[in-house]
Amino acid sequence: MSGRFQIGLWVVLIVLFVAFYQFFSVTDANPGAGPTAANNRLGNFGILAIAVPVSLAAFSFVLLRVRKGQRLNNEGVALMSQGRIAAALEKFKTAEAVLKSNPLIPYNCGGAQLSMWRLADAVRDYERAGKSRFSRNLQHLIAPQLALANALQGKGAASARWLNEALKLANEAAPGAILAQAVMACRAGRFQDASPLLDRHELRSLGGMQRGLSDALRAWCAEQLAGERRYVDRVAVFGEAGPDALRQAWPELAEFLERAPAA
């Protein structure tokens, strides 16, 4: 439930409480007030008759919007799990138009953008999620993903800054943070440093593009360090984006994938 919805709910409850208090307390405070008090009570009843339906209608409208946004977001998550990333991104964008204050939606947008190698867009979406006033519970997830998205663009300083943020949030062992370190090591030609990172058990929990990337980098390290040629699932790395997006972001990795035996 979003913070805006909670605030709206409290407003509705307070309005109803005040209305009922006013209605039942006007004449009770002065039983001998006569016709004037009775008229006041009838007037308050009229106000109450309008305020209650209006408040309930507003509450229902907010509730329906929240439920619609949550439904769209859940549909997007389901599409992501099926590998239908572009369709998932459209769901997330539609959900964000409904739940503008929910940071989970731009966070999910960032994940979809990253999976399609739209790295600059991924960074923008993750940063938007992190700037939300309701994002406190997501910060430990956002920092590792920003470290990875920046690392894939070769932005070492930005990646290191977000890795340090992940350390502060006690989430430096997140798969995204470990993968970000491995990416920067491979980009620098330090395959001997990347190899043990890519063997970390935390990376086994990855799925989608990030799992494909992790496996591909492991195969690349094996080639560079031992001359071993391993099969690579190119589709898992490219996803719906195809090789061009990767070639633009990281031509050396794209070249390795072209010569590696396909799984």
* Containing structural domain, residue 27: 1-102
Instruction: Name the pLDDT band for 69 (thresholds 50, 70, 90).
Output: confident
Give yes or no: residues 150 and 93 share one domain: no
Choose one of 50, 74, 102: the last residue of a domain.
102
27 has pLDDT over 50? no
Nearest to 142 by CA among 117, 97, 105, 100: 105
Give yes or no: residues 153 and 261 share one domain: yes
Instruction: Name the pLDDT band for 263 (thresholds 50, 70, 90).
Output: confident
17 has pLDDT over 80? no
Number of domains forming the structure of the chain: 2
CA distance 197 to 230: 18
Residue 119 located in a structural domain:
no
Give yes or no: residues 67 and 164 share one domain: no
Give yes or no: residues 178 and 254 share one domain: yes
For range 128-148, the mean pLDDT:
94
Instruction: Name the pLDDT band for 187 (thresholds 50, 70, 90).
Output: very high
For range 128-152, the mean pLDDT:
95
207 has pLDDT over 50? yes
Give yes or no: residues 152 and 263 share one domain: yes
Question: Given CA atoms 114, 119, 125, 127 in this order, what sign does their dihedral have?
Answer: positive
Give yes or no: residues 150 and 260 share one domain: yes
Give yes or no: residues 172 and 231 share one domain: yes
Give yes or no: residues 74 and 170 share one domain: no
Give yes or no: residues 96 and 158 share one domain: no
Give yes or no: residues 89 and 190 share one domain: no
Residue 127 located in a structural domain:
no
Taking all residues of the chain, what is their mean pLDDT, rounded to a whole number? Answer: 85
Give the pLDDT confidence score for residue 13 in this predicted structure. Answer: 55
Burial class for 223, CB neighbours closer than 10 Å (0-12, 13-18, 19+): middle
* 262, β-bridge pairs: 232
Choose one of 102, 119, 152: the last residue of a domain.
102
- Tokens 């006007």 locate to 26
Residue 132 located in a structural domain:
no
Give yes or no: residues 8 and 89 share one domain: yes
For range 203-228, the mean pLDDT:
97
Residue 135 located in a structural domain:
no
Give the pLDDT confidence score for residue 184 in this predicted structure. Answer: 98
Using alpha carbons, list the distances in angstroms from residue 143 to 117, 120, 161, 175, 208.
18, 15, 9, 11, 19
* Range with lowest mean pLDDT among 8-17, 75-84, 96-105, 143-152: 8-17
For residue 20 the two structure tokens come to 């009922």
**Using the 8-state DSSP alphabet, how is residue 239 labeled?**
G
For residue 187 the two structure tokens come to 């980009």
Question: 102 phi and psi, to 5 degrees?
Answer: -90, 110
**Using the 8-state DSSP alphabet, how is residue 174 labeled?**
S
Give yes or no: residues 148 and 247 share one domain: yes
Residue 262 burial (CB count, 10 A): 10
Residue 124 located in a structural domain:
no
- Residue 31, CA atoms < 13 Å, CB-side half-sphere: 0
Residue 111 located in a structural domain:
no
Choose one of 102, 131, 158: the last residue of a domain.
102
54 has pLDDT over 80? no
Residue 107 located in a structural domain:
no
* 232, β-bridge pairs: 262
CB 257 within 8 A of CB 234: yes
Residue 231 located in a structural domain:
yes
pTM over 0.85, yes/no: no
For range 177-203, the mean pLDDT:
98
For range 125-139, the mean pLDDT:
93
37 has pLDDT over 80? no
Using alpha carbons, list the distances in angstroms from residue 32 to 21, 54, 66, 148, 208.
19, 33, 48, 75, 76
CA distance 127 to 138: 11
Instruction: Name the pLDDT band for 182 (thresholds 50, 70, 90).
Output: very high
